[in-house]
Structure 1
Amino acid sequence: MLKKILSFLLLVSLSVPFAAKADEGMWLPMLVKRLNYTDMQKKGLQLTAEEIYSVNNSSLKDAIVQFGGFCTGEFISPEGLLITNHHCGYGSIQSHSTTEHDYLTDGFWATSKDQELPNEGLFVDILVRMDDVTSKVLEGITPATTQEERAQLVAQRTKAIAQEASENNQYVTYVRDFYNGNEFYLFVYNRYTDVRLVGAPPQSVGKYGGDTDNWMWPRHTGDFSMFRVYMAPDGKPAPYSKTNVPYKPKHFLPISLSDKEQGDFAMVFGFPGRTKRFMTSHGLKLEVNQLNKSRIKLRDQKLNLWKEDMDKDAATRIKYASKYASTSNYYKYSIGQNAGIKRMHTIEGKIADEDKFQAWANADAQRKATYGNVLGDIASAYATIEKYNLGSIYLNEAVLGTEAMMLGYRFIPLYNSLKAGNAAATQKAIEDLRPRVESHFKDYNLPTDKKVFAAMMKAYSEDIAKDQQPEAFKSLVSKYKGNFSKLADYVYGNSFLMSEQKVNDFLKNPSQKKLEADPAFQLINAIMMNYVTNIAPKMAESNAILDKANRLYVAGLRLMNPDKVYYPDANSTLRLSYGTVKDYSPQDGVMYNYYTTLDGVMAKEDPTNEEFVVPAKLKQLYQAKDYGRYANSKGELVVNFITDNDITGGNSGSPVINGKGELMGLAFDGNWEAMTGDLVYDPDYKRCINVDIRYVLFIIDKYAGATNLIQEMTLVNDGNPGAADAATAEVKTKTPQAELLNATMEEANEKLRAGKTEFKIEKKKGDAKVKLQVKD
């Protein structure tokens, strides 16, 4: 075995991982020093709290961005090179794809910066700072303040605080509430809108396993894509321009080539979307029995109709690829969430917690006065919400889940301005509509949407209480005797909203009368007006009661358990979670390893199934075992690995960072057994599924040949003795010494591959000299 490399020493750290529980919590990074730092150190963190989050100095937070408002990305070079998930960049990749240049199928790689592709509407937000503004927001508000007055004061103050912090709109700012309205924090961001596509693997790599493997482990998916952020020459954010220059991040992540072992520290840093872990049993019942069941039913119908047409036509497949993927994601999630809640007896556990809370509140007269009616108010509010909630769900999933109806909905502001005779508002509405219209028709297939419309309207008619449906809709259903195919023929055959040319002609000379006469607009306007006048007010009354009761419930929980450190629900603000690399057993007699390899990709290969096609070049590299420096110490090419980090939607693309602050993977999914994550944390089964950064580099380098991108990065190898390139060193400069060192390392690798354990290499070039001695 290789023991030492003299003159260029590789140190290998050997440690025995300690037994560790899964770590629940998505923590605000500014509070890490006070709440979590000691525990993180015990698990293997070697950074200081200041190196994780600092306002005044470069820190990890400066390498993390909110990508497009829906994912996370991170800088991996001093030239603004950004990496995120393939599914996060999917919409941008799809937008540049045509049947002639199908980047979804073939992949895309810019070999120089002038080949990078701009993406209108895409942005990244980079956190400048976050501040606790609770005292400013709640100043003077007491228990005697009415809920309505409190809501008004909070809204006014949070808006004013954010506006002041924006410094005349130089920054993107907002104030978010935490712990159900008990605390408030200000967030200040720089927003960069010139974000260009740099690289993406073919979807046979980036989406390998497709919907079959989604939310599942083991996985074998190279889920990554690459972008570059640009700024004006003076360093400020600016719209796309050829004169813009690559953004210079205050911090970017070095990349670890080292092996990951069971028990190794792992930190996920990103923007988790929404969790509702303080939700009571009453809310959980509604989620399970109404939201999830409806989402499963309606999305299943829509996905089947889309897929039917996508399989028939390549152009339709490209148009609907991104929509299909995003719709499918939470369709499957809802199935898993319901199964997990049942398995974990989550509702029963919540009821037990609520019984304890009620007993605690009743045990003291003052507590009873403040908290004694909280759970009763929550139950009463949900009882009313349940009567109208389905109408709200179907509005989003069925009505606005139909593309033509969504387009019609976007015309409502224009209609209202025309009706009011407000010329300025009319002009603004037209300007807002034009890019939306262009985007809609670019990825639209009328026959497909028409079938979806018929199915969704049928479900709406059958499942929503008749007294909650608009008269205009019921009359239309009656006119066509419940034949929704004929109803669709009428609407789609007589609406100008079905033609891009007709829509653009209308926008040149819009009229209230023409909109009112359009059957598609008539329908969506009637459904929306019915919702606004008959459903939303009843929901709003109950939600106001619920907001107050939930706020008091969370405040009471924290008071009842003073020794417990509660983390706030995720709300699309920057958080970190920490844990370890960890395997798991999903059921009796089954144990899942903590990583997968390229062997598994080949084992799943099925050329007849588009989800499991393996590109020819990837097969060639596999057969030759040509993994370069990216193999692990066993000679395997690791594809994915799992940790027990606490994550949720929005964490897609988040960096998985080791104890030294180095990038070792990208989070891209959760596991099927723990789909309860938004509602309750599962300490036994929760796993974060990540793409190994070495597989990413292998695809970029060996598969795509995009070495220009590799050269931008800082690669770190802490030592994998026995790997094919145990003696690899990354050298950025092109000095004679650097060239000699690279050549020396390459020769050493060849000798190691050949099984030699003792050798010397000496090289000279001018005044430069390199000597390497390896001893067994």
Structure 2
Amino acid sequence: MRRIAAIWLIACLGFVQFAKADEGMWLLPLINKLNMEKMQEMGLQLSAEEIYSINNSSLKDAIVIFGRGCTGELISDQGLVLTNHHCGYGKIQELSSVENNYLKDGFWAKSFDEELPAPGLSVTFLKYMTDVTADINAELKEGMTEAERAAKIKEVSAKLIEEAQKGNAYQIRVQDYFEGNQFYLIAYEKFEDVRFVGAPPSSIGKFGFDTDNWMWPRHTGDFSMFRVYCGPDGKPAKYSKNNKPYKPAHHLPVSLKGVQKDDFAMTVGFPGSTERYLTSWGITERMDIINHARIKPRGIKQDIWQKDMRANEKVNIQYASKFAGSSNYWKNSIGMNRGLENLNVLGQKRELEKEFTNWVNADKARQAKYGNVLSELEKAYEQRAPFMSATSFLAECQLRGAEVFYFALNAKGLEKALEEENQEKINAAVEALKEAGKSFYKNYYAETDRKVIGALLKLYNDDIETKYHPSFYNTVNKKFKGDFQKFADELYNKSIFMDEARFNAFLEKPSLKVLQKDLAYQAGVSSLDKYKEIKQMEQESLISINKNNRLFIAGLMEMKADKVFYPDANFTMRLSYGKVGDYEPKDGVVYKHYTTVEGIMEKEDPDNFEFVVPAKLKELWKNKDYGQYADEAGYMPVCFTTDNDITGGNSGSPVINAEGHLFGLAFDGNWEAMSGDIAFENELQKCINVDIRYVLFIIDKYAGATNLIDEMTLIK
């Protein structure tokens, strides 16, 4: 195992010149050895210590995990956080009502006192990362089973974490990289008093909505603003009126200098997940099973949701965040399959696998170590296929698709307490359900869910083998003669979970018999039970896939000793670098690297909610009232593209210029390169960013929130 780590390090240190500048999600502790020379050749004026330092203030101290799946950055010394509108969307929706519709109208706090608490939202700072590969590998022995290996890694990691936690309140974990060939101990500091400061209306923050999602040219002001608060001692604290704005170790200066083609661009953020080392069999599974199971059910569900959302403003608010989350990766899955096919990624992977096989067969020692890796992967993926198909569809149709099924599962604790006739546990379970109900019913419309349930249960019935059907399908077939819409209607009329009043009445006098006879509860429990049962069937193939993927990557690094390898994204802090630039998506078409407010007006369609333009924005455009934020050529910039390597989780990442100043906000990738999570395409892959000047223009000239501009450090 030490030899694997050594090979990886040699490859990284000795052959940097072969790496392409715009591909790679790099670990910050290694950039001095791996990337600084190349970045400085491209124009970067910062040192490695100014980007990542443990002992001194550095750029990494201004970058945070925003919530659970995005990136944000500190842009003032008073804890002001900038992130994407779509990252803040869920909280903005939660804080909205028909009377105060912040999604529709926007919101701007003109003082600290006007900022709105956002319960459940957090921001998390990276404190440091330490390579502990040698510590863990020293305890791993040849001949260990995968279970023994995992247990030993867990044991050693626990000891390392225990030691690292002495004298601090950091959240610490050990994260593996390269499918378990490398390990880092990572320390975080989490702040849970976060308040909503401002956001434009969705007509700006989501301009183009689903039509423009993943597309270029783009004209979306995808940003929102929050503030981190801390206790009087500057440490993380629960919400209190006595808390104060947090003073970060570093905040990003904001550049007004503009964007030019070929400008250096760096992103630092928390990319969620990539699978760049996936084999051909893994890619086939992703395309034909996982993506297919997203595309088909979500398409049906979203059509139902959208129709009801357009008909009812309350439903529109209730389902806005749900719809955005569902449709984002629905469209991503469609684009990914298209991109993988167009770029012949499967063919490229098969050629690599042939090369790997020839390399292995040329040496007996390699044969002993890697000889069965690819054949075992092929076998394991083939065994897993029916199970993966069933669980993927079950998750999309029942556990994610039918909202009431998943919510009903919250009552499992109450069922157990009622069976035990333990009044103390019953009371606790009832109180927990009351709290869960407040959140659920605020964003739930039973009439919509009734339609979704009928449609998705039928889809699962038609597309998945009977042996993988949950037990409640027997009830549908016997009592309702296989009519899933009649079953959904029965739920709507009688289930205690589909009606808030019935639910609360039940909690006043909970009954085990009533709960166990409830059709929604039966459906939820049997769906989850079947899901777990099928997942258990996957275990043998999953263990084989994990083991052989690890060996495959170790072999690749050994085979290609002249290549710099970077680990797949796993929602830990990474840096990517590239340049501002245009691209050619197809024959005869060239997309320039920036868009302007003129494009917003060209797309305007007052009869289509996706392309409505606010009157105030039109007035500013007509008067060319752009203030100090216009480009020197006179136009008002909106978005621009770079060739930085990003993925989901990078949403909200700062785009930083050669001087270390913020000049854009990453929010999307482009349609032509949706295959990027699996295969980076150097000519087509683009990172779509909001120009920071458009952000400032909206804050200042559109919203009049000059108080926020005043606390930033502007670089002219």
- For the aligned pair, the TM-score class normalised by the smaller chain equals over 0.9
Counterpart for residue 503 of structure 2: 503
Residue 417 of structure 1: CA displacement? 5.7
Give a deviation string over 1:362-394, Cα, whole Å, max 9, x none: 111111001000001101110111021111101
Give, in whole Å, the separation in 2 of the partners of 1:155 and 1:41.
39
Counterpart for residue 514 of structure 2: 514
Counterpart for residue 473 of structure 1: 473
Aligned-partner SS, 1:496 = coil
Give, in whole Å, the separation in 2 of the partners of 1:681 and 1:430.
50
Counterpart for residue 692 of structure 2: 693
Letter in 2 for 1:43: M
Letter in 1 for 2:229: Y
| Correspondences of 1:70-149 after superposition (within 5 Å) | 70-149=69-148
Residue 113 to residue 292, structure 1, CA distance change in 2 (3 Å):
same
Give a deviation string over 1:458-515, Cα, whole Å, max 9, x none: 1111111111113332332342122111010122322211233443454566554433
| Identical amino acids, percent of aligned pairs | 52
| Correspondences of 1:352-431 after superposition (within 5 Å) | 352-401=351-400, 402-416=402-416, 419=419
Give, in whole Å, the separation in 1 of the partners of 2:205 and 2:452.
28
Give a deviation string over 1:378-423, Cα, whole Å, max 9, x none: 0111011102111110122111122101102333354456556788
- How many residue pairs are counted as aligned between the two chains? 697
Aligned-partner SS, 2:676 = coil
Work out which of the two has the higher radius of gyration on C-alpha atoms and give 1 or 2. Answer: 1
Give, in whole Å, the separation in 2 of the partners of 1:169 and 1:409.
37
Counterpart contact for 2:670–2:687, Cα < 8 Å: yes
Name the Cα RMSD after superposition. 1.8
**Superposition TM-score, scaled by structure 1 size:** 0.87
Counterpart contact for 1:163–1:169, Cα < 8 Å: no
**Superposition TM-score, scaled by structure 2 size:** 0.95
Aligned-partner SS, 2:538 = helix
Letter in 2 for 1:350: K
Residue 78 to residue 380, structure 1, CA distance change in 2 (3 Å):
same
Counterpart contact for 1:294–1:393, Cα < 8 Å: yes
Aligned-partner SS, 2:351 = helix
Give, in whole Å, the separation in 1 of the partners of 2:143 and 2:420.
40
Residue 94 of structure 1: CA displacement? 1.1
Counterpart contact for 2:269–2:574, Cα < 8 Å: yes
Give, in whole Å, the separation in 2 of the partners of 1:452 and 1:265.
47
Counterpart for residue 214 of structure 1: 213
Residue 200 of structure 1: CA displacement? 0.4
Aligned-partner SS, 1:456 = helix
Counterpart contact for 2:447–2:492, Cα < 8 Å: no
Give a deviation string over 1:80-122, Cα, whole Å, max 9, x none: 0010000111111111211111111111000000000001110
Give, in whole Å, the separation in 2 of the partners of 1:33 and 1:686.
26
Give, in whole Å, the separation in 1 of the partners of 2:424 and 2:132.
37
Residue 537 of structure 1: CA displacement? 1.7
Aligned-partner SS, 2:406 = helix
Give, in whole Å, the separation in 1 of the partners of 2:165 and 2:459.
45
Give, in whole Å, the separation in 1 of the partners of 2:253 and 2:690.
16
Residue 677 to residue 306, structure 1, CA distance change in 2 (3 Å):
same
Counterpart for residue 284 of structure 2: 285
Give, in whole Å, the separation in 2 of the partners of 1:28 and 1:415.
47
Residue 209 to residue 22, structure 1, CA distance change in 2 (3 Å):
farther
Residue 224 to residue 381, structure 1, CA distance change in 2 (3 Å):
same
Give a deviation string over 1:34-55, Cα, whole Å, max 9, x none: 1111111111111000000011
Which 10-residue stretch deviates more, 219-228 or 135-144?
135-144
Give a deviation string over 1:258-315, Cα, whole Å, max 9, x none: 1211111000110111111111000100111111122111111111100111111111
Letter in 2 for 1:330: Y
Aligned-partner SS, 1:559 = helix
Correspondence 1:681 to 2:669: no
| Correspondences of 1:581-620 after superposition (within 5 Å) | 581-620=580-619
Give, in whole Å, the separation in 2 of the partners of 1:536 and 1:486.
30
Give, in whole Å, the separation in 2 of the partners of 1:250 and 1:130.
17
| Correspondences of 1:99-498 after superposition (within 5 Å) | 99-167=98-166, 170-401=169-400, 402-416=402-416, 419=419, 433-498=433-498
Q: Which runs of 5+ in 2 are unaligned?
A: 1-18
Counterpart for residue 738 of structure 1: none
Give, in whole Å, the separation in 2 of the partners of 1:552 and 1:128.
31
Give, in whole Å, the separation in 1 of the partners of 2:279 and 2:681.
17
Counterpart contact for 1:222–1:639, Cα < 8 Å: yes
Counterpart for residue 541 of structure 1: 540
Letter in 2 for 1:620: E
Counterpart contact for 1:231–1:247, Cα < 8 Å: yes
Give a deviation string over 1:127-161, Cα, whole Å, max 9, x none: 11111122223332123111111112223333443
Give, in whole Å, the separation in 2 of the partners of 1:54 and 1:652.
24
Residue 418 to residue 541, structure 1, CA distance change in 2 (3 Å):
farther
Aligned-partner SS, 2:316 = helix
Give, in whole Å, the separation in 2 of the partners of 1:552 and 1:417.
47
Q: Which runs of 5+ in 1 are unaligned?
A: 1-19, 718-776
Give, in whole Å, the separation in 2 of the partners of 1:644 and 1:129.
27
Counterpart for residue 523 of structure 2: 523
Aligned-partner SS, 1:578 = strand
Letter in 2 for 1:605: E
